[in-house]
Amino acid sequence: MATPDVNIGAPVATPAVARRHRLVLTLSRLWAWAFLGLMIVFFVIAVPIYNGGSVNFLTVRNSQNILVAIIPVLLLGLGQTFVIIGAGIDLSVGWVMSLGSVLSALALRAAFNAGLPLFPSVVVGFLAAVAGAALVGLINGTIIAKLKVPAFIVTLGSSFIVRGVALLMSENTTVIGLPRGIRDYGNESLFYLIRGEGGGFYFLAPPELTGELLRRMDRILSYPVVITAIVVAIAMFILHKTQFGRHTFAIGGNIEAARRAGIPVDRRVIMLYVLSATTAGIAGFLSTLRFTAGSAVIGDPLLLSSIAAVIIGGVSLFGGAGSIIGTVIGSLIIAVLTTGLVMLNVQAFWQFIVVGVVVIVAVLIDQSRELIVGRTRTGPPT
Partner 1 sequence: MAKRHLIAAFAAATLLAVGANAASAQENIKIGFLPGVVDPFYQVMELGVNKAAKDLGIEVVTQVPPTWGVEAQTPLLNAMIARGDLNYIITAPVDKDQMVPALQAALDAGIKVITVDTFLGDGDYVNGPVTFPISYIGSDNVEGGRISARGLAKAIGGKGTVYINSTNPNVSSVEGREQGFKEEMAKDYPDITVLGPDYNLDDPNKAAQQTAAVLEQHPDLAGVFGTNVFSAQGAGNAVVNAGLGGHVQVVAYDATKDAIESLNKGDVTLVLAQKPFDMGYLAVEFAAADAAGVTSLPKRVQTGFAIIDKDNVDDPNYSRFIYKAE
Contact residues toward partner 1 (CB under 8 A) are 47, 51, 55, 59, 61-62, 65-66, 68-69, 71-72, 164, 167, 171-174, 176-177, 180, 183, 187, 209, 211, 214-217, 219, 222, 287, 290-293, 295, 297-298, 300-302, 335, 338-340, 342-343, 345, 348-349
Sign of CA dihedral 127, 129, 132, 134: negative
Taking the complex as a whole, the smallest distance from the CB of residue 98 to partner 1 amounts, in Å, to 12
Is residue 50 a contact partner of residue 248, using CB atoms and an 8 Å limit?
no
Cα 203 to Cα 173: distance, rounded to the nearest angstrom: 37
Taking the complex as a whole, the smallest distance from the CB of residue 338 to partner 1 amounts, in Å, to 6
Under 8 Å CB-to-CB from 57, ≥6 apart: which residues?
40, 43, 44, 46, 47, 48, 340, 343
Q: Of 18, 245, 23, 269, nearest to 142 (Cα)?
A: 269
DSSP per residue, 189-232:
EEEEEE-STT-EEEESSPPP--HHHHHTEEEEEEHHHHHHHHHH
- Longest Cα–Cα distance in the chain: 74
How long is the chain?
Answer: 382
SS3 7: helix
Please identify, using beta-carbon distances, which residue of 84 and 303 lies nearer to partner 1. 303
Taking the complex as a whole, the smallest distance from the CB of residue 324 to partner 1 amounts, in Å, to 21
Taking the complex as a whole, the smallest distance from the CB of residue 362 to partner 1 amounts, in Å, to 22
Please identify, using beta-carbon distances, which residue of 121 and 248 lies nearer to partner 1. 121
Please identify, using beta-carbon distances, which residue of 15 and 211 lies nearer to partner 1. 211
Taking the complex as a whole, the smallest distance from the CB of residue 22 to partner 1 amounts, in Å, to 39
Please identify, using beta-carbon distances, which residue of 66 and 277 lies nearer to partner 1. 66
Please identify, using beta-carbon distances, which residue of 8 and 60 lies nearer to partner 1. 60
